[in-house]
Amino acid sequence: MNPTRPDPASTDQVWTLARLATEFSARLDREWPALWVRGEISGHSRHAASGHHYFTLKDSQAQFSAVMWRSRAEPSPVQPASGMLVEALVRLVFYPPQGRLQLDVQRLRAAGRGDLMQALLELKAKLAAEGLFDASRKKALPTYPWRIGLLTAVGGAALQDMLKVLSRRWPLLRCFLLPVPVQGPGAGPALEQGLRRLAAWPGLGLDLIILGRGGGSFEDLHAFNDEGLVRAIADCPLPVISAVGHEIDTTLSDHAADLRAPTPSAAAELAVPEREAVLQLVDDLGRRLEGALKGRVQELSRHLDALRTHRALARPEARLGMASQRLDELETRLRLRGKQALAGRMEAVDMQGRRLRVALQRLQGEAAQRVLDWPRRLDMPLRRRLREDDARSRLALGALGRAMRGILDRHSQSLLQLEARLDRLEQGRLRQRMLRMGFLLARDEVGRPLATLRNLEPGTHVQLEFHGGEADAQLLRIKEHEA
């Protein structure tokens, strides 16, 4: 049944907003059946208790809020996530409590990635290839930090959560806040400049920096995907904790930071120790040190008692007296043995002297006898040696004569050879003078000099030697002169 349309001119018929919402929803059901739409998912969240999925479906010119009930999401092969480009079978419905149109998603299928997500993934791959996310670059957090820098927005709940946790866990800590925008145009460069400024602030002496903000949509957190901010985190000389959004949210800053915390409150808990735990540790160490000292003192006391009762230390004056007496006895025995040894040595020396005197007298007698026998012993060998020397001299003179004759023969032969060489040299000089004067030297085919024309015939080949060269020639005519 179609509802009666109100007359705009009538003031008697006034609809309630609830009736208007009901009529509007009914008309949507009749006139807008389910249809397929295409768009990019943004701001996705899943309700923890109900399991329903809430997100925004958008393109470059429009956007709609959307909901996918758990009963439809659980069996779906495609689970919604921010940045996905999807095709969705939807019904257009009106949500009266908030007075807005939204899409009731019946089915979902993947259509690729959205432009923003695609650019983000390409940037992530580029930075990962440069090693900015490597675990080897991560710096360890200080165990007991005293100064922490906070980089976040002033009015956000994230700042209050971090300050509350830090003051409760580590009251001795000093925090330094540098306010920066955490979303919207220009937030990424502002975060980068703030981080570099905070890390290089002279005299601040920070131990670490916490970079964070509360939860939000994919677009709200996009400032923490800024390339300049990611590079600033990787270059920061101080350890950096990234605490962006909720546990399900992940940004490029989380990958580049030295530690990623699921929430700002968790970042504060990870940054500082708990005061009570530190005090308990100090108490435990104190008790352990006290016990160790007591044990050592008891051990030394027992050792001292044992030394006191040791027989080596009992009546030390008596033991010293006995040792002194023993020393006197040893000294007396040493002196006695020294005297006995000296007397024995003296006796041995006297005996050796007597033996030497006897041997010397015997040697003197033998030497005198040899002197008396020397002329006789010298005469006989001398004659024999003279005869032997005469024979050897004769043999030597004969050998010397033969050697001299051999030397003279060799020298005579050498002189003859030299004379022949001089003759040849003289003949060569004479021949060269003759050649320079214009004469020729003729030889037959075998090189013998030709002094006459006898036995030569026309056509005979001869060799002609000139001054400075030779030439081969053939006789054409032979004419002998009369004598």
Whether pTM > 0.85 for this model: the answer is no
Query: What pairs with residue 315 in β-bridges?
Result: none
Domain assignment present for 98 = yes
% of the chain exceeding 90 in pLDDT? 40
Contact 189, 225 (CB under 8 A): no
Residue with tokens 């968790």: 266
Task: Output 7 or 475, whichever has higher pLDDT.
Answer: 475
Task: Examine residue 126 and state whether it is found in any structural domain, yes or no.
Answer: yes
pLDDT tens by residue, 123-148 = 999 999 999 999 999 999 999 999 99
Residues 45-54: contacts with CB within 8 Å, 24+ apart? 45/248, 46/248, 53/80, 53/105
- State which residues form the domain around 40: 17-113
Is 6 a domain residue?
A: no
Band the pLDDT of 67: cuts 50, 70, 90.
very high
pLDDT tops 70 at residue 217: yes
**Residue 3: band (very low, low, confident or very high) from pLDDT cuts 50, 70, 90:** low
Same domain as 125, residue 62: no
Any residues with CB less than 8 A from the CB of 209 and at least 6 apart, and which? Answer: 148, 149, 150, 151, 195, 198, 199, 236, 238, 239, 240, 241
Q: What whole-number distance in Å separates Cα of residue 89 and Cα of residue 69?
A: 13
What whole-number distance in Å separates Cα of residue 452 and Cα of residue 375?
Answer: 91
Residues 99 and 193 in one domain: no
Is the alpha carbon torsion for 298, 303, 308, 310 positive or negative? positive
One-letter identity of residue 73 = A
More confident residue, 222 or 410: 222
Residues 199 and 99 placed together within one structural domain of the fold: no
Last residue of a domain, one of 252, 273, 294: 273
Sequence-ordered list of residues with C-beta below 8 angstroms from that of 274, at least 6 positions apart, any chain: 169, 170
In a domain, 231, yes or no: yes
Cα distances from 435 to residues 109, 248, 442, 471, 475, in angstroms, run: 122, 122, 11, 14, 21
* The pLDDT value given to residue 1: 43
What share of the chain has pLDDT > 70, as a percent?
Answer: 87
Domains identified in the chain, total number: 3
Residue 267, domain member (yes or no): yes
Which CATH number goes with the domain that contains 54? Answer: 2.40.50.140
Residue 288: Cβ-neighbour burial (10 angstroms; 0-12, 13-18, 19+):
exposed
User: Looking at the structure, do residues 75 and 165 belong to the same domain, yes or no?
Assistant: no
Whether 168 and 233 map to the same domain: the answer is: yes
Predicted confidence (pLDDT) per residue in 353-372, tens digit: 777 777 777 777 776 677 66
Q: Mean of the pLDDT values across residues 226-252? A: 92
Show the tokens assigned to 44: 């996705």
Residues 123 and 107 in one domain: no
pLDDT in tens, 313-348: 666 666 677 777 777 788 788 878 877 777 777 777
Mean per-residue pLDDT of the chain: 84
Q: Which residue has the higher pLDDT, 422 or 290?
A: 290
**Are residue 108 and residue 219 in the same domain, yes or no?**
no
What's residue 10's pLDDT? 57
Residues 160 and 224 in one domain: yes
> Would 71 be classed as within a structural domain?
yes
Same domain? For 123 and 260 the reply is yes
Encoded tokens for 458: 């026309």
266 and 123, same domain (yes or no): yes
Confidence of residue 482 (pLDDT cuts 50, 70, 90): low
pLDDT tens digits, one per residue of 80-127: 988 888 999 999 999 999 889 999 999 998 887 677 777 888 899 999
Chosen domain end from 233, 248, 273: 273
Does residue 133 sit in the same domain as residue 256?
A: yes
Q: Residue 203 is part of a domain; what is its CATH number?
A: 3.40.50.261
Pairing of strands 259-260, 240-244: parallel
Examine the domain organization and report whether 242 and 156 are in the same domain.
yes
Q: In the prediction, which pLDDT does 120 show?
A: 85
Position 421 in a domain? no
Is the predicted pLDDT of residue 8 greater than 60, yes or no?
Answer: no
Residue in this structure with the two tokens 């999925």, named with its chain if needed: 53
Task: Give the residue from 221, 254, 273 where a domain finishes.
Answer: 273
pLDDT tens digits along 136-182 = 999 999 999 999 999 999 988 899 999 999 999 999 899 999 999 99
Rounded distance, CA 476 to CA 377, Å? 102
Q: Provide the pLDDT for residue 115.
A: 72
Q: What's the mean pLDDT in 240-253?
A: 88
User: Is 359 contained in some domain?
Assistant: no
